[in-house]
Amino acid sequence: MPGDGPAEFFRKAEAELLDLSIEAQRADWVYATYITPDSEALSSRAMARLLEATARLAKESKRLPAGAWSRDDARKASLLRVSLPLLAPSDPAESERLAGIVAWMQGEYAKGRHTPAGTSEPLTLEALSRILTESREPTVLEDVWTGWHRVGRTIRSKFTEYVDLANRGARELEFADTGAMWRSKYDMDPDAFVKEVDRLWDEVWPLYRSLHAFVRSRLRSVYGPDRVPESGPIPAHLLGNMWAQTWEWIYPLVAPPESDDGFDLTKLLVGRGTTPSDMVRYAERFFVSIGLDPLPASFWERSMLSRPNDREVVCHASAWDIDFVDDLRIKMCIEITGEDFQTIHHELGHNYYQRAYARLPFLFRDSAHDGFHEAVGDTIGLSVTPGYLARIGLLPEVPDDSRDIGLLLRRALEKIAFLPFGLVIDRWRWSVFSGEIAPSEYNRTWWAMRTRYQGVAPPAPRDESEFDPGAKYHVPANVPYLRYFLAHILQFQFHRALAKTAGFSGPLHRASIFGSRDAGQRLGRMLAMGSSRPWPEALEAATGDRRMDAAGLLEYFAPLRRWLDEQNRGVPVGW
């Protein structure tokens, strides 16, 4: 390869990477759906081979002769350097060690259990999460929260070594560290990207601050001033989610009677005897309604839609493209809830994106940037409106607009509450990778950042014997997280543009593109571009704009913002 020109080099490189990526996908699928020491070892070995090849080829591409490179080859060289979230050190033993640590951390996370006080049965994360959503007893909530977070203690023992090895690989390709490598995926200088993220956060911060003040005031009236401060951070275990990343499960506690949204999607689904497969069929029919093809038969044969009873699995929902053509799958332990109904639309968004760019050269078979991949399914989720639910027969009629504040409040507890959490995870990891945060300060700085951005605090003091970042899947699994923050901005930008294309002229929160072939064609043009062009061009194809902004989000929630500001009169805002 070193003697090849750019075109021939990338032809060979893409063929090698495709073979190794398929091998790694198959091994990782088996591991995630059948956790054993053997499947862990096979997954680790396959990933090590892919990491080694990617790093080797990226280094070789830098030695290609200068000259008249095609636009596509120059872009492939850039993408190759950032194509994986891990760059392996050139030492084979270190490369294999790094892959093994990541596989081990994922396995430890998946095997995490806690036996709540007064019970005898160790519970999975899913079961513990149900308690957090349903119980209103603070001591029970604190026990469950604390019990699950112990999973980080074990993971911490190898996390520091993982950071060191990952940074060695990144520096061999002339990145300052792994965090800088992650930030280099966005077609701009890593430092410029930080400023772009700060700009987006500044746009949405006032809305989050208003929602936070409202929720804190309501929870204080429920749990009392001894548990919820008047003007400080909210205790994380009272927010209905293991990581306080979304707050929709506390909606009944914070919504005044007059803002009832008129229906309970979970009850509607359960009342119809909906199965996990039915849940996926609903989402598939949405994508088909806008002109996209049905899922392949292999999807239904090979996906994991429910938790098996006979083995350990990774239940965290994910979408897979095993052969990078049409072997599409999802892995998910589906429960019949409104939350999972939305999650399935999100996961199929990944699958439909994967299918749309499957015919491009291998290095272009990805989204414009990772926030785009996360945003597509959530954009469809924004069209899961009462009007849509009525059209597919889940609601007998559309509630009148007097219920809209309830709908918007519930969605804000999901979408707006998430924004600072989506920022914190990678803000913290960027500082860990750069060395700004030392191992002796992992947990202290984690909570300092969560308090600063989210305005939440742990139920009791946490010291450095704990490793609370490790209690969130994406940290031990080495999955960059800022994509979700960006997706929460982009989905509203997409939704506004596609709703206009579909001819919708009412309030943005009532818009649904279900059944609009025009909107589907516009979305499809962006999906088919994959990562072949810089993301501003893909954004322009979908929205007409080349700059990410929160205008769509702010328009969507404008009626709620006015309502929140009224509710917050005389209430402390901030922490």
Catalytic residue, candidates 345, 346, 373, 488:
346
User: How many Å apart are CA 140 and CA 137, to the nearest integer?
Assistant: 5
What is the identity of the amino acid at 181? Answer: M
Q: Active-site residue 319, yes or no?
A: no
What is the identity of the amino acid at 100? Answer: G
Q: Active-site residue 41, yes or no?
A: no
CB 352 within 8 A of CB 376: yes
Residue whose token pair is 């280099």:
184
User: How many Å apart are CA 45 and CA 342, to the nearest integer?
Assistant: 35
- Please state the φ and ψ torsions of residue 512, each to the nearest 5 degrees: -140, 135
Buried b (16+ CB within 10 A) or exposed e, 488-500: bbbbbbbbbbbbb
Q: Residues with Cβ < 8 Å from 378, sequence gap 6 or more?
A: 345, 346, 349, 487, 488, 491
CA dihedral 524, 187, 483, 152 (to 10 degrees): 150
Question: Residue 331: which of 314, 354, 349, 355 has the closest Cα?
Answer: 314
Q: Active-site residue 317, yes or no?
A: yes
User: How many Å apart are CA 561 and CA 464, to the nearest integer?
Assistant: 39
Q: Active-site residue 347, yes or no?
A: yes
Q: Active-site residue 346, yes or no?
A: yes
Q: Active-site residue 453, yes or no?
A: no
User: How many Å apart are CA 176 and CA 27, to the nearest integer?
Assistant: 31
CB 433 within 8 A of CB 167: yes
Catalytic residue, candidates 186, 357, 453, 484:
484
Q: What share of the chain is helix, strand, coil (3-state, %, to 5)?
A: 65, 5, 35
Quickly list DSSP for 254-287: H--GGG--S--HHHHHHHTT--HHHHHHHHHHHH
Beta bridge partners of 114: 123
User: How many Å apart are CA 320 and CA 331, to the nearest integer?
Assistant: 8
Catalytic residue, candidates 34, 255, 474, 537:
474
CB 404 within 8 A of CB 559: yes
Question: Residue 354: which of 25, 32, 73 has the closest Cα?
Answer: 25
Q: Active-site residue 390, yes or no?
A: no
Catalytic residue, candidates 212, 237, 350, 488:
350
User: How many Å apart are CA 180 and CA 191, to the nearest integer?
Assistant: 8
Catalytic residue, candidates 108, 248, 284, 347:
347
Catalytic residue, candidates 317, 390, 528, 558:
317
Catalytic residue, candidates 40, 374, 414, 466:
374
Tokens of 154: 């074990």
Q: Active-site residue 373, yes or no?
A: no
| Catalytic residue positions, numbered | 316-317, 346-347, 350, 374, 474, 484
